Structure 1
Amino acid sequence: MSKIRRSGEQSLAAAEPQQRGVAAVESAAAILDVLHKAQVPLGVTSIAKASGFAPARVHHYLVSLLKTGLVHKEEDPVRYGLGPFAIRLGLTAVDRLEIQHFSAPFLHELSTETGEASFFSIWSPAGPVIVRWEQGLRPLTVFARLGTVMPLLRSATGQVYCAWGPGVAVAEAVERALLQLPPSERAAERAACKVRTEEARRMACGTTRGSMLAEVSAVAAPVFDRDGHLAGVMTVLGLLQGFDASPKGKMAKAVRRVSRQLSEKLGYSDGDE
């Protein structure tokens, strides 16, 4: 019986012509997958170890991936991460994910109630990325495009990711952001970031008043998935004048409530019934 089965399988394989792929594309995809899973920039040696390719081969592919924008390069030390084109491709895929569509009616509710603009962001290798925007009734001098990466150090959104985001990835991103500051300012900003993070955890929201953009305040709150992991962040923002950015104010209460409703939609329960 086994001989007959093998014979049949061989005949079937022979009858179906094998489709030839492009090995280079498959290798490039493997390298991109390594960078995606790492969530932080990696050196050539680390990429080679994770992909199973020789370092020289990895470097060869990275040259082309850099040219296409699928990968970006950081200096001192040299490390590689997913580039802007890869992020745009990811956002196209995100558009098909349930969470982005789930967020739409909740953002609409938040902006209708507060009269302010709001947006929903998710974590990406580049940091928090806006994937949904809702325009409010009140005039706003800024408009964030989909795909905009929010800063971790200067935004209410960033405070929430520092408080509940993927630990290692967020810590690495914070250190990269600190490197953009003058050396004399890094220690103080690191300490200030720790204080803001602890305050965000305590108040269940992040707040800013003109620290990211002049004349603009914002309040952000976490959205959790059914496993209790941070699924994204909901943020409401508006002009300083007339915008209550206090952690105990009406904006904070609204964004916390709506974020909790979205979390429950995703299956999250903190046990407080």
Structure 2
Amino acid sequence: MEGDRVAAEARGVQSIEVGARILEAIAAAGDLVMLRDIALEAGVAPAQAHPYLVSYRRANLVEQDRQSGRYRLGPFALQLGLARLRSFDPLKAAGDAAARFAAETAMSVVITVWGAYGPTVVQVYEGSDQVHTALRPGTVFSLTGSATGRIFCANLGVEIIMEAIKAQKADKMPSRIVGPVSDFRSIKADLPLIREAGYATTTSNPIPGVSAMSAPIFETGGELTGAITVIGSALSFDIAPSAARVRDVIDLAHAISARAGYQRPAASA
């Protein structure tokens, strides 16, 4: 009996799954879209997609433009999205994903947000590769001398960054800042490249023998929520652009951002 129930749950409801693909196709379009394009993206025939769209219109999940006959998401879909955002904690989601990544890779993973003194550690997940980082919640990364700091420099306004660098340089407790602090012009030329690549790396800086890679976490509207930084031994953590682990970290950041409601521009997606 229990086995039959589990098997039924595993099967699911195929029509709902097809309907979800149709809604995803409309959402991915981002604007009014034709029936044939919805069907193509969802992997169904137009004749199969049409009855779903009729029902979705009745439920206000989809609306149809009278002049063009094209479709877009309706007001109830917006209500569902807003409800999701209200109940979603991006930092908790980031923490859950970071913990799994640390366990799977044996490397340490750190979550940072923008604080009073710059990029501030809020969560640390130690890996098992025996790299000692001495990082803890409340630790502040240098904006110019760390991979994490450079992610914030690349994705926040210049005025904000320059003021924060000035404050870090004038800090009377420099020991709480991880990494050397230099002038903004020392990294200015690198920032467009970091934005385009979607990540920043360092080796043996600020921690000797340790490589770090940091990627941004965005939320709805493209606002920077924080950064996820992966730390490992320079001998085993390959941070070359073509390295598989680099792709893994980027995918991790993208997955967290997607759960927070962020949609990457089509060119970068």
Q: Same fold (TM over 0.5)?
A: yes
Number of the residue aligned with 2:15: none
CA apart distance, 1:160: 0.3
Deviations 1:164-185 (A, max 9, x none): 024432221123445689xxxx
CA contact (8 A) 1:219 1:251 kept: no
Q: Distance in 2 between matches of 1:179 and 1:233?
A: 24
Number of the residue aligned with 2:217: 223
Number of the residue aligned with 1:196: 190
Number of the residue aligned with 2:144: 153
1:267 aligns with 2:258: no
Report 1:54-69 matches (<5 A): none
Q: Distance in 1 between matches of 2:230 and 2:107?
A: 7
Report 1:46-85 matches (<5 A): none
Deviations 1:196-252 (A, max 9, x none): 323311211010001211111100000001110111000000121111122332232
Tell me which of 118, 134, 147 is aligned to 2:109.
118
Deviations 1:46-82 (A, max 9, x none): xxxxxxxxxxxxxxxxxxxxxxxxxxxxxxxxxxxxx
Q: Distance in 2 between matches of 1:108 and 1:205?
A: 20
Stretches (4+) displaced over 3 A: 175-181, 188-191
**Percent same amino acid among aligned pairs?**
25
1:106 aligns with 2:97: yes
Q: Distance in 1 between matches of 2:139 and 2:89?
A: 20
Residues 104, 190 of structure 1: CA spacing in aligned structure 2 closer, same or farther, 3 A cutoff?
Answer: closer
Deviations 1:113-135 (A, max 9, x none): 43210011000121111111111
Aligned length: 173
Report 1:1-273 matches (<5 A): 98-177=89-168, 189-272=183-266
Q: Distance in 1 between matches of 2:248 and 2:94?
A: 15
| SS of residue in 2 equivalent to 1:219 | strand
Number of the residue aligned with 1:56: none
| SS of residue in 2 equivalent to 1:247 | coil
CA apart distance, 1:106: 1.1
Q: Distance in 2 between matches of 1:248 and 1:190?
A: 28
Q: Structure 1 counterpart of 2:143, which letter?
A: L
Q: Distance in 2 between matches of 1:246 and 1:165?
A: 25
Q: Structure 1 counterpart of 2:159, which letter?
A: V
CA contact (8 A) 2:111 2:123 kept: yes
Question: Which stretches in structure 2 are left out of the alignment for 5+ residues?
Answer: 1-87, 175-181
Question: Which stretches in structure 1 are left out of the alignment for 5+ residues?
Answer: 1-96, 182-187
Residues 247, 174 of structure 1: CA spacing in aligned structure 2 closer, same or farther, 3 A cutoff?
Answer: farther
Q: Distance in 1 between matches of 2:188 and 2:100?
A: 32
| SS of residue in 2 equivalent to 1:105 | helix
Q: Distance in 1 between matches of 2:263 and 2:221?
A: 9
CA contact (8 A) 1:156 1:218 kept: yes
